Amino acid sequence: MNDIDKFVAALVDQDTMAGTNRAFDENDIQTMKNMSSIEDVKQYAVANGLSSGKVNNALISAGLQYGADPLGAEDIAGLFGFGGTSSPALIGGLPSDYVPQNPTDTDFYYKDDEYRIFGNLPTEDLYKLQARLIQGGLLARGAFTPGDFDSATATAMRLVLGRQNRIGVKIGEKSTAWNEALLLYQNEPLPSGEEVSVYLPPDYAETATRIRNLFTQDLGRQPQPYELTLLAEQFMQDTQLRSQQSAELQELALGPSVQELESGNVGNKDIQGVVAQTGLQEISPTGRLYENFNNLVQREKDRLQANDDIQNTGRLMLGTILGTRR
């Protein structure tokens, strides 16, 4: 007889003591025998209403060592009916007698189960898990260590396990049942709190006024319709390019994306190195507007300047002639 069968037999003995209501039926007994660990059997027995004291009695009767100290302080307190906790805490803050949506799905997740299930996952599997948590709005990029089951990842998984507890956990499926809750988060993500870059084009009326002022100040006239349209559209494009550049740099500053985590292509990003390597420069829509205006009207400005020079030369010559006559 293996350890689980010994433990189940001892639990049944405790359950059939005179003067107590039965906690297990034949289906419960068979379910416990099919479980993969003593911990799962213990939690199932407590969830079904068997006291912690009787569970510990069964452990002793079966001769099982439960960790380094089979009867810790809480277990001894429960055994003799004073102090301590009657059962481990369910993740999600649920009461010990909580009934899920499906009343038979009571193989709940308990405190620290997130570490037991996910703490030793291979790095590649943690990448994929963290990618799903990002998709569900449970984990913010840049706020966790990729490939490590750190405190941020553990907190996110407690939310998942708590939600699955409310739904219910089928007996013997604790290692995979949480996928249902995580998929719900992925389909309807929580607000992630990440800064979102939104492009708002500049006000066209203000842009047109700025362009008209340039023509009035430099050329003494209003722009032709085609000149106004050309310069305004270019100014709009430059403001959009600046917004896109800012968004791309912000993307680099964040941690790995969902796609990078899923592919395992995770590494440190040297943003300043990227800027230096690519020769990126800040885009100035206003500076480009002045440059485009000068390029557009340079010939006209040269012609006006030439006319001014001719007029000035004429005035000088006239002044010289008049002065000579006098």
266 pLDDT above the threshold of 80:
no
3-state SS, residue 196: coil
Residues found in the chain = 326
CA distances from 133 to 120, 140, 154, 257, 276 (A): 17, 9, 11, 12, 33
272: left (phi over 0), alpha (psi -120 to 50) or beta: alpha
Please report the pLDDT score of residue 236 as a whole number: 93
Number of domains in the chain: 3
Note whether 161 and 229 are same-domain residues.
Answer: no
Q: Is residue 87 part of a domain?
A: no
Is there a single domain that holds both residue 224 and residue 180?
no
**pLDDT given for residue 76 in this prediction:** 45
My answer on whether 312 and 215 are in the same domain is: yes
Residue 199 domain flag? no
pLDDT tier at 71 (50, 70, 90 boundaries)?
very low
Q: Is residue 121 part of a domain?
A: yes
- Cα–Cα nearest to 163, from 100, 96, 87: 100
Pairwise CA distance, residues 45 & 78, whole Å: 15
Contacts of 4 (CB under 8 A, 6+ apart): 32, 33, 35, 37, 38, 41
Q: Do 266 and 313 share a domain, yes or no?
A: yes
pLDDT of residue 16: 78
- Whether 289 maps to a domain, the answer reads yes
Q: pLDDT tens digits, residue range 243-257?
A: 887 777 766 667 777
220 and 311 in a single domain? The answer is yes
Contact, 23 vs 49, CB < 8 A? yes
Residue 102 in any domain: the answer is: no
| pLDDT at residue number 20 | 61
Do 183 and 213 share a domain, yes or no? no
Two tokens at 151? 């405190």
Residues 54 and 46: their CA atoms lie apart, in Å, by 9
- Which residues, other chains included, contact 310 with Cβ-Cβ below 8 Å and sequence gap of 6+? none
Of 87, 147, 140, the closest CA to residue 119 belongs to 147
Cα–Cα distance between 163 and 105 in angstroms, integer? 13
Same domain, 176 and 209: no
Residues 162 and 92 sit within 8 Å (Cβ to Cβ) = yes
143 in the same domain as 230: no
From 79, 100, 131, give the residue that closes a domain.
Answer: 79
* 213 plus 257 within the same structural domain: yes
Has residue 143 been placed in a domain?
Answer: yes
Domain end position, chosen among 154, 187, 220? 187
Domain boundary among the residues 79, 103, 135 is at 79
Burial (CB count within 10 angstroms: exposed 0-12, middle 13-18, buried 19+), residue 215: buried
Structural domain including 123 reads 113-187
Give the model confidence (pLDDT) of 84-104 as tens digits: 445 679 999 899 889 998 889
Contact 135, 152 (CB under 8 A): no
Q: Answer for the pair 235, 202: CB distance below 8 angstroms, yes or no.
A: yes
Report the distance separating Cα 120 and Cα 274, nearest Å. Answer: 35
Q: Tokens 């998984």 sit at which residue?
A: 157
Write the pLDDT tens digit of every residue in 277-319. 777 788 899 999 999 999 988 888 777 666 665 666 666 666 6
Of 38 and 21, the structure prediction assigns the larger pLDDT to: 38
